[in-house]
Amino acid sequence: MVAQALELSRKPHVIIATPGRLADHLRSSSTFSIKKIRFLVMDETDRLLEQGCTDFTVDLETILEAVPACRQTLLFNAMLTDTLRELQGLATNQPFFWEAQAPRYLLVPEKVKDAYLVHLIQCFQDEHEDWSIIIFTNTCKTCQILCMMLRKFSFPTVALHSMMKQKERFADLAKFKSSIYWILIATDVASRGLDISTVQVVINHNTPGLPRIYIHRVGRTAPAGRQGQAITLVTQYDIHLVHGIKEKIKKKLEEFSVEEAKVLQILTQVSSVVRRECEIKLEAAHFDEKKEINKWKQLILEGKDPDLEAKCKAELAKIKQKNRRFKEKVGETLQRRQKAGRAGHKGRPPRALPAARSGPVPSQHLA
C-alpha cells in the first residue's frame, strides 16, 4: 500500500487497479484524487457488476463518487448481460454499442470429430497463412492429445492447461503471442483474461455445458473489432446445449459448411491411427498419475491430509453404494408386491351383491 501510494502521489496518467485496492487508496488518502480523469474503463464488466461472493458494489460506489460527472465510461465484456442492457437503456447520452458477428457451428458425428478439426485447420492455413487459432477443449488430457496429434500433421501447436507447470504455460503462451506457433490448444483456463490481439479463429472442440463459458471462449477471437470467427463442433449429443446458448446470446448460430469428401480422405488416418498413437504415448508417460499427484499437492497446500481425504472419499462412495442398493431392493420389493396383488385380484371370484330386502324398511329409534 505504501509503495503504491508513493506511485499515485506522482500523478500518473494511467491507473490500472482492482476496485477494492483503488477504493482503499481513496478512503485512506486525503491527497490522492481522481476528480480530473477523462476516461473510466471497466473490463470484465459482468464480474464487476454481479452480486455474490465477489460483490464490488461498495467499492464501485466509492470510485464513482470520486470521479467527475463529465467523463467517458467504457464497458468491455464478452457477453451482453441483462444488467448491461439496463445500463444501456439508462444512459443519458446515446451510447456507442458494438457486438461481434454471429458465431457458427459445424454438425459432426462424435467419433470422427478430430478428422473435421484437422480439415478445418488445414482450410484456414491454406486461405490465411498468418491467422492464429485457439482451440478450446473440456479436459487437460484431451488438450494434450490434440496437441500431440496436430504436431503429427506438422501444424505448429502449443498447449495450455492446468497440468502444465507455470513456467511452461508462460513459455508456450509467449511462443503463441510472438507467432512462432500459430495454434493454441487450451482448456477454459484461457477463456478469460488473455490479451492476444492476433487471434482470428476460435474453435470449440466440445460444446460447452454452460452458455457463459461459451461466450467467454468466443470472446477471445478478433478483439478490438478485428476480423475473426468462432466455430463450434456440435455432435448429435449436443443439440440441447446449442439451444441453451441460442437462448442466452439471443442470436442464431449460422451453419459452417465443409467439403465432406476431403474429410473422408483423412478420416481413417486421423481417428483410427494418429489419435490412437497419441493416446498410447500419453498413457506411457503416466499422464493420469501426474494429475493425481497434482491433486495431492494442492490438498497439501490447502492444509489438508491427502490420505484422510482419500479415506473420506472412499467411505462416502461406500455409503452412496449402500444407499443405491437399498433403493434398488425397496423398488424390487414394491414391484413384487404389486405383481402379487394384481395376480391375487385376477384369481379371486367376484363378490356377490347382497340380496335386496322386500317389505318396509324398519325404522330406527334413538334412545
**Which pTM was predicted?**
0.60
DSSP secondary structure letters along 166-216: HHHHHHHHHHHHTTSS-EEEE-GGGSSS---TTEEEEEESS--SSHHHHHH
User: Is the pLDDT at 150 greater than 90, yes or no?
Assistant: yes
Name the residue with higher pLDDT: 301 or 112: 112
pLDDT number for residue 195: 66
In this prediction, residue 367 has a pLDDT band, given cuts at 50, 70 and 90, of very low
Long-range residue pairs from 277-281, CB within 8 A, at least 24 positions apart, any chain: 277/152, 278/145, 278/148, 278/149, 278/152, 279/145, 281/148
Q: Which residues pair with 229 in a beta bridge?
A: 201
- Whole-number pLDDT of residue 303: 74
The b-or-e profile of 92-130 (16+ CB within 10 A means b, else e) is: eeeeeeeebeebebbebeeebbbbbbbbbbeebbeeeee
What's the average model confidence in pLDDT over 154-163? 90
Please tell us whether the domain made up of 2-90 is placed in CATH 3.30.300.30: no
Place 118 in a pLDDT band, splitting at 50, 70 and 90.
Answer: very high
Q: What are the boundaries of each domain within the chain?
A: 2-90, 104-298
Distances (CA, A) of 150 to 63, 131, 137, 143, 181: 48, 16, 14, 11, 12
* 2-90 and 104-298, same CATH topology: yes
- Quick one: pLDDT band at residue 285, thresholds 50, 70, 90? confident
Confidence band of 106 (pLDDT split at 50, 70, 90): very high
Tell me, what's the pLDDT at 134?
92
Cα 49 from Cα 131, distance rounded (Å): 34
Q: How far apart are CA 119 and CA 108, in angstroms?
A: 12
Residue 221 has pLDDT above 80, yes or no: no
CATH numeric code, 104-298: 3.40.50.300
Q: Which of 69-73, 95-99, 256-260, 352-356 has the lowest mean pLDDT?
A: 352-356
pLDDT at 254 over 80: yes
Average pLDDT, the chain: 81
40 against 298, higher pLDDT: 40
